Chain A
């Protein structure tokens, strides 16, 4: 035990640090390997050794049609992610605000949201697709697909909103009300600006959860696949490093999205500090 400051670090610290380091290697090791292998030379295979270095497999992905409609799938996934993101952020903001009060049905609604997280995705997808078919509505990625994605992003967003609102002091709103501000004004000038970094987190989760969602999409998107479905299909049919190239590419896109959001949050907080 080595907690109080100033004490010398004992054996325990180094053992735990080594364990943690090994865990980090375990997390990153395999991913780094496929990133490296995606730059495999033209004649290279799925494993080491590298036979030269090239970007051949990246070009191959989009140039050749044997990998399916990757461009279309990517477009659909990004669009779906953006729509899911906007709806999730708005709906969860208001729902989070509402949950600060005790209202009738708050408990059941909360548990229904949790069920939505806990029920295996493909089952909810099955339920949603069957419901649409019973109603005679054709499956479409931007209809039933969007609904399926929202059943995943909304409860997640709600949980994050809880955490965000946990640190939110309602007396700001009250002060604004005492000063005569109306509900919409308070929302626009007080609540949303204060919660903004948290809302970006909700938006970020909304986008990436939807962008990566596979089980719920499988039965609900209809004739046009989203990117995760295309990729999972590739895992069983593609036996070239193109498989790793798509992995590298989508990971890079995800990291770009997070980086942009983190920079946005940092800028907002810096501005805020400058104003204080």
Chain B
């Protein structure tokens, strides 16, 4: 931290340096969010927007059972994806950090996991279609093996497909932060625990998991916000049978019901903020990043 406080330049130049980011962020993140709030209190008949204050959008939204069902589905998707990606992320990071001894191999294998991240999410999503479809590879294989004589229909255009796609798209966001915090664990700590007679599982529970907590928390923020924000995967991969909060909002937007969509948006932002601040209670990301 000492180099940090003495860093660079005089006080004024720090403001000059940060000014472009600050102006941009306030003008194009702060103000648009403010616009959404404003919009959520305005009226519309589906054609025009009337700039008159109303609570109707919120009243309508909160009195509709559909709203709660949408939030329930979305949170369910987020929770299942979170659990699975955490388990996969933890095991893969654990393997890379504690079992792959050669640093070059460690970095190489981690890079191997990150490469798919660089292709378009839409492409990665549709890449499941030839695998899961009725005529897809999985069904062709199990039929050829004689395990079943009917293709399994639940594979594609179902909640299963939606969650599988989320896991495929977002596990990386769990692996990288967990890997990072695990790599910072001092091997001497584990050595000491072993010398004190701790078993493998005890070391895992009392040393490694607590020290990986910040990584898990950061990864959870990524995964939860990504799933909660999605409208496209749920629309395509469920074949229109499921809807999340944002996909329902997208329908309202397509039908030009902007104020209703904005009200829903504000509620979603509130829920996401609540979840994220819950996670942030476990870890201070700013301190984590500065370390």
Residues of A within 8 A of B (CB): 1-5, 9, 12-13, 16-17, 19-20, 23-24, 26-31, 33-34, 37, 46-48, 90-92, 94-95, 97-103, 105-106, 109-110, 112-124, 126-128, 130-131, 134, 147-148, 150-151, 154-155, 158-159, 162-163, 166, 169-171, 173-174, 183, 208, 212, 214-215, 219, 228, 231-232, 235-236, 243-244, 246-247, 250-251, 254-255, 257-258
Contact = CB atoms under 8 A, between A and B. Distances in A.
Contacts of B269: 119-120, 123
Nearest to B129: A46
Interface string B189-212: 011001000001001000000000
B291 A30 contact: no
B279 to A, nearest CB: 11
A109 B118 contact: no
A159 B289 contact: yes
Nearest to A254: B118
B20 A94 contact: yes
A154 B18 CA distance: 12
Interface of B: 3-9, 11, 13-18, 20-22, 24-26, 28-36, 39, 88, 91-92, 94-96, 98-99, 101, 109, 112-113, 115-116, 118-131, 133, 135-137, 140, 168, 171, 187, 190-191, 194, 200, 203, 221, 225, 228-229, 231-232, 236, 246, 249-250, 253, 258, 261-262, 265, 268-269, 272-273, 276, 285-286, 289-291
Contacts of A120: 225, 228-229, 246, 265, 268-269, 272
Contact of A47 (B33, B136, B246, B268): B136
A115 B95 contact: no
Contacts of A114: 285
B16 to A, nearest CB: 8
18 contacts: A3-B187, A16-B99, A91-B24, A98-B13, A100-B7, A122-B229, A122-B249, A123-B229, A131-B31, A214-B121, A214-B122, A219-B253, A232-B232, A243-B126, A244-B126, A247-B120, A250-B123, A254-B120
B252 to A, nearest CB: 10
B32 A131 contact: yes
B33 A115 contact: yes
Given A97-B8, A123-B36, A128-B32, A27 B116 contact: yes
Contacts of A24: 112-113
Nearest to A91: B20
Contact of A235 (B8, B95, B126, B273): B126
Nearest to A191: B8
A244 B17 CA distance: 44
Given A47-B137, A100-B8, A232-B232, A127 B18 contact: no
